[in-house]
Structure 1
Amino acid sequence: MARAKVLRGLVLAMGYACVAIGLFHVLLGNASIPGAESAGATIDSLGRFFGAIFAGYGLAWLWAARQSPIPAAAVRVLTGVFLLGALGRLLSLAVDGWPHDFQVALGVLELVLSPLLFWLADAEEKALRGRVTQAVPQSP
């Protein structure tokens, strides 16, 4: 049951954080990205567009959090997208070098949270199956 509570808390946190971060990027454009304040209109447009997509990604996390139980398949897909973003950061590091320290911290967070979310993905489904099994009377 503790794993199920941790899963629910993380899924909600992911949803709210992604929606907030996405809207922050939509509203502030280049100013929301450390070191990109003077990147120009093309990067500003791209950042605002991806901010909207990220807010939508957060809404998908919130949708998953509203289900009972939280669907493991949805958590795995959303976590896979999250991990792909972290791998993109690693590719960028290999190609272009170290980004701003804040981006490094985000990458570490993404690499740490992804395995945890994969591990917890079916926690509520398992907890529900356990309760159903206990409620079913055993035949003689």
Structure 2
Amino acid sequence: MSRRGLQAAVGVLACIPVTVGLMGVVQGPGEVMPGEDWPVNLDSHYRFLSGIFLAIGLTFWWCVPAIERRTAAFRMLCLLIFTGGLGRGLSLVLAGPPVTEHLIGLGFELVLVPVLAWWQGRVAAASA
């Protein structure tokens, strides 16, 4: 449960929102479901949310060098992702199971992210 281990884990895991967010901003919803005729409002909303996801990943990377001192930012990022996971979980219950990648994301959002928040809290407390 070391600082370096946490930094490595967060640095690698942040590649997911950075990559997926950037792809969503650039390619739009056609990246997920090619061939569909997407309404302009859905395209706009999808790219907006992808931009937020990209910013979350970039902010996680910003936290990495001083991860023991950036507790408030780190916890807010974790809360954002966890809340998104709750929304994805509600969709699972109401609309049915999504593609496998989204189910894996749900596990990250509702299980792995709280573990990272706990780990960061331990690292922050140990450095105080």
For the criterion TM > 0.5, the same-fold answer is: yes
- Deviating more after overlay: 67-76 vs 18-27: 67-76
- SS of residue in 1 equivalent to 2:68: coil
- SS of residue in 1 equivalent to 2:73: helix
Q: What is the match of residue 55 of structure 1? A: 54
Q: Which amino acid aligns with 1:27?
A: V
When the two chains are superposed, the root-mean-square deviation of aligned CA atoms in Å is: 2.1
1:31 CA displacement: 2.5
The number of residue pairs the alignment matches comes to 127
1:111 CA displacement: 2.0
1:17 aligns with 2:16: yes
1:38 CA displacement: 0.9
1:97 aligns with 2:90: no
Identity rate, percent:
29
**Consecutive aligned runs of 4 or more in structure 1 exceeding 6 Å deviation:** none
Could you tell me which runs of 5 or more consecutive residues in structure 1 were left unpaired when the two chains were aligned.
Answer: 130-140
Query: Based on CA coordinates, which of the two structures has the bigger radius of gyration?
Result: 1
TM-score by length of 1: 0.77
1:53-85 deviation per Cα after TM superposition (whole angstroms, max 9, x unaligned) = 111111211121132634222222111111111
1:38 aligns with 2:36: yes
TM-score by length of 2: 0.83
- SS of residue in 2 equivalent to 1:121: helix
Could you tell me which runs of 5 or more consecutive residues in structure 2 were left unpaired when the two chains were aligned.
Answer: none
1:86 CA displacement: 0.8
Q: Which amino acid aligns with 1:88?
A: G
Q: In structure 1, what is the Cα distance between the partners aligned to 2:4 and 2:74?
A: 14
